[in-house]
Structure 1
Amino acid sequence: MLEGVHADSGIGLRPSCFLKGNMRKEALLILAERFEEVEAVTPVDVLRRAGVNVVMAGLRSKNVRGSRRVVYIADMLLSEYQGNPDVLILPGGVQGAENLHQAQGVTEWIAKMNQSGKWIAAICAAPAVVLAPTGVLDNRKATCYPGYEKGWGALIQHQTTAVAVDQNIITSQGPGTALDFSFVIVEKLFDRATAVDLAQKMVYSYTGI
């Protein structure tokens, strides 16, 4: 079970990341059945190393099976979550994204975060399957898993970059871009120096978005 900040990892976890203005940053990551594991576990790991309180929320159960049939234990159900997150994270996966799209409460969280100008981060199929139908990508630049953009309307400006950022929306292409996706989230929650420093400690080359 992933929970809390893994202080025993010895990598990352800069004290300056823990508190900004005496407020610890919080991320809400929603797990749907058949989610893509790499796209969920990577941001959880990276953000917790940065001192972010990451809450993993399941939809119908705390035991959530990923696309590779590994069962993950969420911290709580989405219906139980009463926090005020700084970023909403939506992993992909073909069936996982569709399950997010159909789930009660997900669209409401997207609308709530967007209306308050808070960060929304989606990867792989999630930008196309979950975000696009809500209209939050209209007149914005976004990316997704290659091919999924074919269903987008003309209002969405498709990008072919690993990660795209437009206003409060962060989108990314897939499992292979999950680290860049995660470091961009760290950069936007804190600053570029924090993200670059953490990447170096994890032996990864990240220069900023």
Structure 2
Amino acid sequence: MTKRILVPIAPGTEEMEAITIIDTMIRAGFQVTTASAAFDGSLTMKGSRGITLTADCKLVDVADDEFDVIALPGGIGGAEVFRDSVVLVEMVRQHKYEGKLLGAICAAPALVLIHHDLYPDALMTCHPSFQSHIADACWRPKRVTLDVNHNLMTSQGPGTALEFSIELIIALCGKEKAWQVAEPMVTNPTLHYHEMGKRT
């Protein structure tokens, strides 16, 4: 069965992160939905660097849909919109409750997950400028971190977006599938980017 991936976007979303996640998931053959969390309901918006991003639909239109992964790109402005979106926060809360994989990168782990205490004990990383938001016991200074106990994948920024995306594929379908995507992209062949976070 095809995996279903939700990538929310908002004004101020980091373009490299959003597009890299979307592109890589499509290369994997997954069904990707890009949903606008913009408060005015607009589908077209400017990202953090002024590049135009266009969503498939409004977030509210897919609020009751089932997804295998919700992947939150960063960008301070976009992450702040996510933080203030009641619909998105409730979707993430329900997604976690169902034990499904959640991904967040850059500012999103700090401004969304930590702000709403959604994963209070999870091991995670984020953009280094937001490290102070994360408790020392939970912080991992790694480019990508997977907390297997919480089914949470986090990453640090635009430069780690491809690694993050490939690791999401590994978590969903295994390394063989991930390598089918990674090899034609001429990316790192090791596919050992993340620190496996597991509490004993």
TM-score above 0.5, yes or no: yes
2:174 matches 1:191: yes
> Which aligned pairs between 1:144-183 and structure 2 lie closer than 5 A?
144-153=126-135, 157-167=138-148, 168-183=151-166
Structure 1 unaligned blocks of 5 or more: 1-22
2:95 matches 1:113: yes
Q: Which moved more, 1:44-53 or 1:192-201?
A: 192-201
Match of 1:54, as an amino acid?
Answer: V
- Point out 4+ residue stretches in structure 1 off by more than 6 angstroms: none
Partners of 1:183 and 1:206 within 8 A in 2: no
Match of 1:177, as an amino acid?
Answer: T
User: What residue in structure 1 maps to residue 18 of structure 2?
Assistant: 40
User: What residue in structure 2 maps to residue 97 of structure 1?
Assistant: 79
Q: Which moved more, 1:64-73 or 1:27-36?
A: 64-73
Determine helix, strand or coil for the equivalent of 1:42.
helix
TM-score, normalised to structure 2, is 0.89
Alignment counterpart, residue 80 of structure 1, candidates 51, 61, 80: 61
Match of 2:163, as an amino acid?
Answer: D
What is the root-mean-square deviation of aligned Cα atoms in Å?
1.3
Alignment counterpart, residue 53 of structure 1, candidates 31, 36, 46: 31
How far apart are residue 94 of structure 1 and its match?
Answer: 1.3
Partners of 1:196 and 1:207 within 8 A in 2: no
Determine helix, strand or coil for the equivalent of 2:154.
strand
* CA distance in structure 1 between the aligned counterparts of 2:158 and 2:26, rounded to whole angstroms: 19
Partners of 2:9 and 2:55 within 8 A in 1: yes
How far apart are residue 55 of structure 1 and its match?
Answer: 0.1
User: What residue in structure 2 maps to residue 129 of structure 1?
Assistant: 111
Please list the CA deviations of residues 43-92 of structure 1 after superposition, one character each: whole Å capped at 9, or x if unmatched.
Answer: 10001000010100002211121011111110000011142100001110
* CA distance in structure 2 between the aligned counterparts of 1:83 and 1:140, rounded to whole angstroms: 25
* CA distance in structure 1 between the aligned counterparts of 2:189 and 2:53, rounded to whole angstroms: 28
* CA distance in structure 2 between the aligned counterparts of 1:137 and 1:208, rounded to whole angstroms: 26
Partners of 1:180 and 1:206 within 8 A in 2: no
Corresponding pairs, count: 186
TM-score, normalised to structure 1, is 0.85
How far apart are residue 208 of structure 1 and its match?
Answer: 2.7
Identity %: 35
How far apart are residue 187 of structure 1 and its match?
Answer: 0.7
